[in-house]
Structure 1
Amino acid sequence: MSLPPPLVPAHRDLPEITIKALVLGIVLAMLLGAANAYIGLLVGLTVSASIPAAAASMGLLRLFKRSNILENNMVQTAASAGESLVAGMIFTVPALILMQAWDTYQYWPCVTIAIIGGILGVAFTVPLRRALIIEAQLKFPEGVVTAEVLKTGGVETDKSQAATNTNPAREKDFKNLLQAAGISGLFKLFESGFGLLAGSVATTKAWFAGSFLFTGSFALSPALVGVGYVVGLNIALLIFLGGAIGTLIGVPLNWWLNSNELMGLSGIAAHTPTSEFSQTDWNNIASQAWSQNRRIGVGAMLVGGIWSLIALAKPLIAGVKSSIAAYKTASAAGSNEVLRTEHDTPIHYVLWVALAATIPLFLVFYNALAGYNSAALIAAVMTMLMLFFGFIFASVAGYMAGLIGNSNNPVSGVTIATVVVSAFILLQLMGNQGLAGQLGPIAVIYLAALVCTGAAIAGDNLQDLKCGHIVGATPWRQQLFQVIGVASAALIIPLILQILDAGYGIGRPAENNPTGSYLSAPQASLMKDLASSMFGAGLQWTFIYIGFALAVVLIVLDEIQKRRGSNFRIPVLAVAVGIYLPLGLSVPIFIGGLIAHRLKNKNKLIDKSTQQQRENSSLIVASGLITGEALMGVAIAIVAAFIMPLAHTASFAWATGLLALAGVVYYQARKG
């Protein structure tokens, strides 16, 4: 079955690379990258920026005399590249701080890792575009939705022609994006800035004479409601299920089976009767029990990452073969025969980029291993591993984006596999004695960061190229703008990380607020634990083994669902992330998923065109909720870190916070 022709046919050459598209792409790449850093570090999930970038681009380009859909597409391409690059970095780089390899987020090493990983991610997907988009005809759902959003603006706009100057759908979407961002931004300002709204509500209770320990929490966050709406009920429910396993079931069960150890970890003398426990004692016990339980998520993530590779081996090989065959066919036809809408970056350029990247890659690893006797040899091995894993996992990420979308792409799963495999290889080469035991985990995290950024960009790149294929973009121009988005976001990533770490703390409390809540950075914490444990720092494996077993059960159930043809799937990584995260974060995500499911059922009775328009508008509102809170969170972090301490939370804030969030939930539901 052939794909429908592009909206802008190949023989029509509209302006794509323009000054205004370039400037807007760079600015939005930086802004959305900063927003994604906050959300990703908070909850361990990131969402594609293509849809809000497309809406923002259309709203801003309407201020110019002339614009067209291909310019809009270029802007969203660069902007979403910045968002995806940040995702790859925040899942890995904070591990270097947590393992005390770095004292601060070093600017040039961060920028170098981001640019090399990002550009290689773009390069690796050039030969995959035709195989996955045209030959395999994968869905790439977010690319399709982004194209539908872009179509609402029309093909061309010219202010000298009043009839084509206004599109009600485009105007409404842009206003909704700004409105939703404003609402969530104000929520965050009154919460963290003024202390008039609570950021969460939580309770810990001991029942039945202390034999049953209950603990629960609820994060009050418009952004997380938006995240739940974007990922949908299936993923949102699984994340919540993971939270229930780790907290609602796991904490009382752990207390019942392991009370003496938990008392010792909480500083309570043995044989102290539970009737003498204070509320602080119960809180500490619940915290220790949950900290142990989250290792179940570690085990499930490990198995899930390996399973992702096994499950994708066959389609990956087929996709690469198809890509090579398509390239040979195009080469035989001659460059003059290639249509504009099929004109990729020449493959020899891609090969030169990969070859040239070996030099900075070698230097990155060599500097990370400074002081080790065989640093040059190990750096050479790590460079080869990066090129090998980079291409394999970029292909996996691209294929998964085609199946389930970039927001649900298990990039962290393949990164976990990278950490385990590369740590095992390095352990054989270096051992774990003396300096090798210190530098080995650092080199592993460097490799994981490069692979993760490349994989994240690969999934996003192919999603955008799918959108471009629908609207009629020129592939090589999109690939160029993808590189521009990478470079733009790379320049600000270390600054944003440093600001968020100083203002909130990443993976642990900030130095200036040791008792405050912090950004959990679940993936980075996991990478640090895995890399360190592989080199002998010691990781308690009992709960991880439980995670292994749970993952096997979930994989079997998912395969059953797959064979039944069910739309409800059970990806291991979604449950594992839920176990690893505090329960409170999964509750608003679940609420967002419920809203999405309700609106989807409600809209089933209307015609397809109106249904698609409503779904697009609802996604834009959800994206606005995410972006507004995240950007305000970055701004407040700057104030907290460098200007003044934040206000204390008022005693009534839990009530006003619940009421305010209920209003946000009602707003998201009504806008759908």
Structure 2
Amino acid sequence: MNTPATQSPPQLTPRAIILSVVLAMILAAANTYLGLFAGLTIATAIPAAVVSMAVLRLLGGGHILENNIVQTGASAGSSIAAGVIFTVPALVILGHWTDFQYWWVLAIAGLGGILGVLFSVPLRRSLIVDQQLAFPEGKAAAEVLKAGENPASGIRVLAAASALGGLGKLIAASGLRLVPDSAAFGGFIGKGIAYMGTNLSPALLGVGYIVGLNIGIVVVAGGILSWNIAIPIYSAYFLDGNPDLAARLVGASAEDAAGAIWSAEIRYLGVGAMLIGGIWTLISLRKSLMSGIRSGLDAARAGASKVVAETEKDLPMKAVLIGLIAFTLPLAGLYHAIVQNFAVSIPMTIIMIVAGFLFSSVSAYMAGLVGSSNNPVSGITIGTILFASLVLAALMGSNAPLGPVAAIVIGAVVCCAAAVAGDNLQDLKAGYMIGATPWRQQVMLAIGAASCALVMAPVLNLLAKAYGIGVPTPDHPNPLLAPQATLMASVAKGLFGGELPWDLIWIGVAIGAAIIVCDEVLKKRGANFRTPVLAAAVGIYLPLDLTVPIFLGGLLAHLVERAAGVHNDPDAAERIHRKGVLFSAGLITGEALLGIVIAIPIVYSGSADVLSLPEFLHFGELVGLAIFAVVGWILYRVAVKGALTSSS
């Protein structure tokens, strides 16, 4: 039930701000690890809401609107992490930086995030009030806040799952090495390669549970397309045409050969699919986007001449415009520091403003349709980098050494803005459902975004030194893949005189186009199952062993729905998943945070084996699979118990 507009219960209180900032930083660090590892981040509003309710109750109360403010600011952790890790590591991968420079990362993340908040203000009325888009994570967070009479139960679930996820990371290959990180099986069939594998990460199982079976199937189908179709074909018929790669594979195992072929060639199919996916996202949303922008601006102009209820007060449009100018000027200075040419830095700034507003609107609309966890921010960013690269190539020349760097910085700011805009609308949806004041939430999200920006560079440097990021090296042969950042670096470099396997990229474009056609056919038939092209593209681009546990997590979510008898009732399915989602979020948070903790002794000692137990205590893949299966069973049992309680 909405709070009456005439009341003013506590919302933006000092304790809510402090708790929100602390949670935002922690969740930003956790999502940074997860995104570099698996190329995915998850919305953090629900675990933040549960923690807020428990902590504020210990401090002597906590109104639902105060708890909402906490989850609003804390949820910036996932959006700022996504904006940074999808782009900024590309500057290291390109060799422009040797490490993550604190003030640059702070400026990109902080300014981009705050601009995302400002860009989203005129969209709230259109997308939430007028068009009544779903915003699933915002709706779920509101339901959690409404049902917050017993947050202790939720905290116990979250804490137990976090401990289990952390234990899974501790015993794996980067910790005690009791079990390997993955289980893989491969063999040669003539000149072809047969390969199958799965990562044993509890976090990926949790990711799959949260995104659901549909996305899980599409992602793993993309992985199968790469690893079980494209790699065998390439190995059997095209490897001889690449003598350098063929020479490297002499004497290699089937698993190593498949990995090398994927890394050198096949992953570019995913690049092509992402390119067409990003372009299609913009084309398909053009009418709804322009309608949303127009109605939002009209509502903002009308608001100045009439009395507005407390539950409808956004940040004043005058303040938004002043803020845009105030935060754009420092970005113009950053761009000029890169290119040292006003004839280039000024157009860069204009591109950032136009693309930032346009793509923030796309991100907000997509978040309303499919949720923040499924929001195709990476596709949006690819489109930005492509457009920026073409403009910069015309201004600087197609072989300009700083061209890729300039394009990546533009993309990074736009990516942060777009990710935060989508997240902001999710939070505003939750606030709309419980009677919160929009401008207070907008201020809190800006504070949360700026706070997260403070910790991004130290976390990135810690992970880079402990595990490596993007590019395998002798010290880090199996780095955190940073798939989106590696892709951004490849695209930007390829458009400025670099070399890209364009034949494979064009094949990927064709595959992406076929997936889009399939999705449109399913859409016209009103099918529940869909084939979002960017989910498939991520699957094509990722190693197969990362997509399999995501699929298995989605399968568990489906089995929970069937156990509760609601697999044909989307609204009921959303309700009964609350405990499963909370447990999954705990698995993800626990593993990610312990991954960061483990990185500290690795960096301090300079040895990746610092925590390793004696070799006779290292068990094989079968033990790892057994432990992974137990984690899956526990997740299923917890979720089913919660589902049956919710559906009874």
Q: Which residue of 1 aligns with 2:646?
A: none
Structure 2 CA distance for aligned equivalents of residues 268 and 461 of structure 1? 48
1:148 offset after TM fit, Å? 0.5
Structure 1 CA distance for aligned equivalents of residues 593 and 253 of structure 2? 37
- Structure 1 stretch 186-195 or stretch 463-472: which is displaced more? 186-195
1:226 offset after TM fit, Å? 0.4
Q: Which residue of 2 aligns with 1:161?
A: none
Q: For residue 8 of structure 1, give the secondary structure of its aligned residue in structure 2.
A: coil
**Preserved CA contact (<8 Å) 1:501 1:510:** no
Q: Which residue of 1 aligns with 2:643?
A: none
Query: CA deviation digits over 1:297-326, x for unaligned, max 9?
Result: 000000000000000111001101111222
Q: Which residue of 1 aligns with 2:354?
A: 388
Query: CA deviation digits over 1:397-439, x for unaligned, max 9?
Result: 0000001101000000010000111101111111134xxx211
Q: Which residue of 2 aligns with 1:29?
A: 24
1:644 offset after TM fit, Å? 5.5
- Structure 1 residues 268 and 457: alpha-carbon distance in aligned structure 2, compared to 1, 3 A threshold: closer
- Structure 1 stretch 50-59 or stretch 474-483: which is displaced more? 50-59
Q: For 1:137-156, list aligned pairs within 5 A.
A: 137-153=132-148
**Preserved CA contact (<8 Å) 1:465 1:478:** yes
**Preserved CA contact (<8 Å) 1:30 1:82:** yes
Structure 2 CA distance for aligned equivalents of residues 219 and 20 of structure 1? 40
**Preserved CA contact (<8 Å) 1:504 1:510:** no
Kindly provide the amino acid, as one letter, of the partner of residue 652 in structure 1: F
Q: For residue 285 of structure 2, give the secondary structure of its aligned residue in structure 1.
A: helix
- Structure 1 residues 612 and 397: alpha-carbon distance in aligned structure 2, compared to 1, 3 A threshold: closer
1:641 offset after TM fit, Å? 1.4
Q: Equivalent pairs: percent with the same residue?
A: 45
Asked if 1:444 is matched to 2:426, the reply is no
1:282 offset after TM fit, Å? 4.2
Q: For residue 201 of structure 1, give the secondary structure of its aligned residue in structure 2.
A: strand
Structure 2 CA distance for aligned equivalents of residues 173 and 12 of structure 1? 29
Structure 1 CA distance for aligned equivalents of residues 563 and 162 of structure 2? 25
Structure 1 CA distance for aligned equivalents of residues 505 and 297 of structure 2? 41
- Structure 1 residues 509 and 139: alpha-carbon distance in aligned structure 2, compared to 1, 3 A threshold: same
2:364 pairs, out of 398, 401, 406, with 398
Query: CA deviation digits over 1:455-506, x for unaligned, max 9?
Result: 0000000000000111111111101100110111000000010011111111
**Preserved CA contact (<8 Å) 2:207 2:584:** yes
Structure 2: 5+ residue stretches without partners: 640-648
Q: For 1:190-229, list aligned pairs within 5 A.
A: 190-191=171-172, 192-207=174-189, 210-229=190-209
**Preserved CA contact (<8 Å) 2:239 2:246:** no
Structure 1 CA distance for aligned equivalents of residues 157 and 248 of structure 2? 53
Q: Which residue of 1 aligns with 2:476?
A: 514
Structure 1 CA distance for aligned equivalents of residues 473 and 71 of structure 2? 34
2:86 pairs, out of 88, 91, 112, with 91
Q: Which residue of 1 aligns with 2:301?
A: 328
Q: For residue 407 of structure 1, give the secondary structure of its aligned residue in structure 2.
A: coil
2:44 pairs, out of 37, 46, 49, with 49
1:342 offset after TM fit, Å? 0.5
1:634 offset after TM fit, Å? 0.8
Q: Which residue of 2 aligns with 1:432?
A: 398
Query: CA deviation digits over 1:24-49, x for unaligned, max 9?
Result: 10110000000000111111111101
**Preserved CA contact (<8 Å) 1:341 1:474:** yes
Asked if 1:480 is matched to 2:443, the reply is yes
- Structure 1 stretch 527-536 or stretch 317-326: which is displaced more? 317-326
1:283 offset after TM fit, Å? 4.5
Q: For 1:125-524, list aligned pairs within 5 A.
A: 125-153=120-148, 167-168=149-150, 170-191=151-172, 192-207=174-189, 210-262=190-242, 264-267=244-247, 278=251, 280=252, 282-291=254-263, 292-333=265-306, 337-370=307-340, 375-433=341-399, 437-509=400-472, 513-515=475-477, 517-524=478-485
TM-score by length of 1: 0.91
1:12 offset after TM fit, Å? 1.8
1:190 offset after TM fit, Å? 1.3
Moved over 4 A (4+): 281-284, 605-613, 648-651
**Preserved CA contact (<8 Å) 1:368 1:443:** yes
Structure 2 CA distance for aligned equivalents of residues 638 and 419 of structure 1? 34
- Structure 1 residues 284 and 83: alpha-carbon distance in aligned structure 2, compared to 1, 3 A threshold: closer
**Preserved CA contact (<8 Å) 1:262 1:289:** no
**Preserved CA contact (<8 Å) 2:44 2:78:** yes
Structure 1 CA distance for aligned equivalents of residues 623 and 564 of structure 2? 32
Q: Which residue of 2 aligns with 1:595?
A: 556
1:259 offset after TM fit, Å? 2.9
Structure 2 CA distance for aligned equivalents of residues 217 and 506 of structure 1? 22
Asked if 1:526 is matched to 2:487, the reply is yes
TM-score by length of 2: 0.95
Structure 1: 5+ residue stretches without partners: 1-5, 154-166, 270-276
RMSD between aligned residues: 1.8
Structure 2 CA distance for aligned equivalents of residues 22 and 268 of structure 1? 55
Q: Which residue of 2 aligns with 1:640?
A: 602
1:215 offset after TM fit, Å? 2.1
- Structure 1 residues 268 and 140: alpha-carbon distance in aligned structure 2, compared to 1, 3 A threshold: closer
Asked if 1:616 is matched to 2:578, the reply is yes
Kindly provide the amino acid, as one letter, of the partner of residue 93 in structure 1: V
Query: CA deviation digits over 1:196-248, x for unaligned, max 9?
Result: 121111233112xx333112221000000000011111111111001001101
Q: For residue 205 of structure 1, give the secondary structure of its aligned residue in structure 2.
A: strand
2:520 pairs, out of 535, 553, 559, with 559
1:10 offset after TM fit, Å? 1.3
- Structure 1 residues 369 and 219: alpha-carbon distance in aligned structure 2, compared to 1, 3 A threshold: same
**Preserved CA contact (<8 Å) 2:311 2:436:** yes
Structure 2 CA distance for aligned equivalents of residues 548 and 510 of structure 1? 30
- Structure 1 residues 612 and 250: alpha-carbon distance in aligned structure 2, compared to 1, 3 A threshold: closer
Query: CA deviation digits over 1:373-409, x for unaligned, max 9?
Result: xx11111110011000000000000000001101000
- Structure 1 stretch 620-629 or stretch 600-609: which is displaced more? 600-609
Q: Which residue of 2 aligns with 1:159?
A: none
